[in-house]
């Protein structure tokens, strides 16, 4: 599989700029550390941008949409047709992310990576890996060619962001039943055999629906083990290979997010991770190339039950927790003003010397 680019080195963090930003924070007119994580945000952006006073003006949001064959198992409260309907809503400006992107003056693009029977639409980038994945409870999600196409779609989105001089990349997703795929991937990567630990309501399942979904995910994991056992050439180390995971039980949009989350740090673009699905994609990306983590921020802890556990496993803290569970990058977009305010405080507060205020 010609995917050598995935393992290319990640852009370096500017340690001098980071140190200068830390020094500036220490002399601003406030008790040290009193602005909490806002201080850390400003310092991170300084290190990423290589300047003492960073800015956030160019924001690139890519929403990857694709359908999942596992929807046939009844794991979603919404029918599969909603994926395509929501794509149309995105471009019409009626979706949450459409409103938030406009409000934040962010560039928004919608990528069809495999929405079932979706015709060509104006303002939708067509990068289809297929017409929906297969039902992963019964067969592999995709073949190698399809995986490469989905990864390429994410890589190209990151490169478009770079061409637009993006200072922040946000990846979002739309795909009915994609929490099932994401949960199965996370259970395998984190070695959590009890699927009830990470299985949540997704689009709004009741307790009976969640139990059924958990059982389906358990069956997916059993099938995954059987599939690997058939391939006698795989070593024990390769059995947890994240690309194999994506091929067997991923979604096209999840694979695209993984690629974008790797390619952006290679180009020196920080990534703001959205909710449950995108955090699983970040988990996969980190398992492929661990250095990408230093270019990631995690926007919020969603209401999806397994999200907090995955964030904990990654040893990261989300910036906010508002019980969000919409997806489509909405949670990440909500955090944009918070980041801008953190940078404004860092850049514009007076130092003790400037304000002639005693600091000892």
Answer yes or no: is 272 within a domain. yes
Residue 348 lies in a domain: no
Residue 269 inside a domain? The answer is yes
What CATH number has the domain bearing residue 298? 3.40.50.10210
- The catalytic residues are 328
Query: How close are the terminal C-alpha atoms of the chain, in Å?
Result: 61
Q: Are 253 and 66 in contact (CB under 8 A)?
A: yes
Contact in structure between 191 and 298 (CB atoms under 8 Å): no
- The count of domains in the chain is 1
Q: With respect to residue 328, please indicate whether it lies within any of the assigned structural domains.
A: yes
Per the structure, the complete domain to which residue 319 belongs is given by 58-339
Distance (Å, rounded) from C-alpha 154 to C-alpha 157?
5
Please classify residue 231 by burial: count the beta carbons closer than 10 Å to its beta carbon, then call 0-12 exposed, 13-18 middle and 19+ buried. exposed
Domain membership of residue 346 (yes or no) is: no
- Confirm whether 33 is domain-assigned: no
- Strands of the sheet with 296-298, listed across from one edge: 124-126, 107-114, 59-66, 168-174, 271-273, 296-298
Give yes or no for a contact between 166 and 269, defined as CB atoms under 8 angstroms apart: yes
Q: Does pTM surpass 0.75?
A: yes
Does residue 192 belong to any structural domain of this protein?
yes
Asked, for residue 77, whether it belongs to a domain, the answer is yes
pLDDT tens-place values along the chain, 360 residues long: 468 899 999 999 999 999 999 999 999 999 999 999 999 999 999 999 999 999 999 999 999 999 999 999 999 999 999 999 999 999 999 999 999 999 999 999 999 999 999 999 999 999 999 999 999 999 999 999 999 999 999 999 999 999 999 999 999 999 999 999 999 999 999 999 999 999 999 989 999 999 999 999 999 999 998 888 776 555 444 456 899 999 999 999 999 999 999 999 999 999 999 999 999 999 999 999 999 999 999 999 999 989 999 999 999 999 999 999 999 999 999 999 999 999 999 999 999 999 999 887
């Amino acid at each position: 599989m010609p995917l050598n680019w995935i393992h290319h080195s990640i852009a370096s963090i500017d340690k001098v700029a980071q140190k200068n930003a830390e020094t500036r924070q220490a002399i601003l007119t406030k008790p040290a550390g009193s602005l909490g994580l806002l201080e850390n945000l400003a310092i991170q952006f300084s290190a990423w941008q290589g300047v003492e006073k960073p800015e956030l003006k160019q924001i690139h949001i890519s929403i990857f949409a694709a359908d999942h064959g596992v929807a046939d198992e009844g794991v979603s409260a919404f029918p599969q047709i909603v994926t395509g309907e929501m794509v149309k809503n995105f471009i019409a400006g009626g979706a949450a992310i459409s409103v938030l992107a406009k409000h934040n003056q962010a560039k928004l693009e919608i990528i069809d990576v495999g929405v079932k029977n979706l015709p060509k639409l104006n303002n939708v980038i067509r990068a289809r890996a297929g017409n929906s994945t297969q039902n992963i409870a019964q067969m592999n999600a995709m073949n190698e060619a399809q995986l490469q196409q989905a990864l390429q779609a994410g890589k190209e989105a990151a490169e478009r962001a770079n061409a637009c001089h993006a200072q922040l990349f946000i990846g979002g997703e739309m795909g009915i039943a994609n929490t099932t795929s994401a949960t199965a991937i996370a259970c395998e990567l984190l070695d959590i055999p009890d699927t009830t630990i990470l299985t949540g309501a997704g689009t709004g399942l009741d307790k009976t629906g969640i139990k059924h979904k958990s059982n389906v995910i358990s069956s997916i994991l059993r099938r995954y083990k059987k599939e690997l056992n058939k391939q006698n050439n795989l070593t024990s180390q390769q059995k947890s290979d994240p690309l194999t995971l994506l091929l067997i039980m991923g979604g096209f949009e999840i694979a695209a997010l993984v690629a974008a989350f790797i390619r952006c740090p290679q180009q020196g673009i920080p990534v703001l991770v959205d909710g449950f699905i995108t955090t699983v994609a970040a988990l996969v990306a980190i398992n492929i190339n661990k250095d990408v983590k230093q270019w990631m921020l995690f926007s919020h802890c969603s209401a999806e039950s397994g999200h907090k556990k995955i964030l904990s496993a990654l040893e990261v803290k989300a910036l906010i927790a508002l019980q969000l569970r919409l997806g489509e990058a909405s949670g990440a977009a909500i955090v944009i003003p918070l980041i801008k305010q953190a940078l404004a405080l860092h850049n514009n507060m007076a130092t003790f010397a400037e304000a002639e205020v005693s600091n000892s």
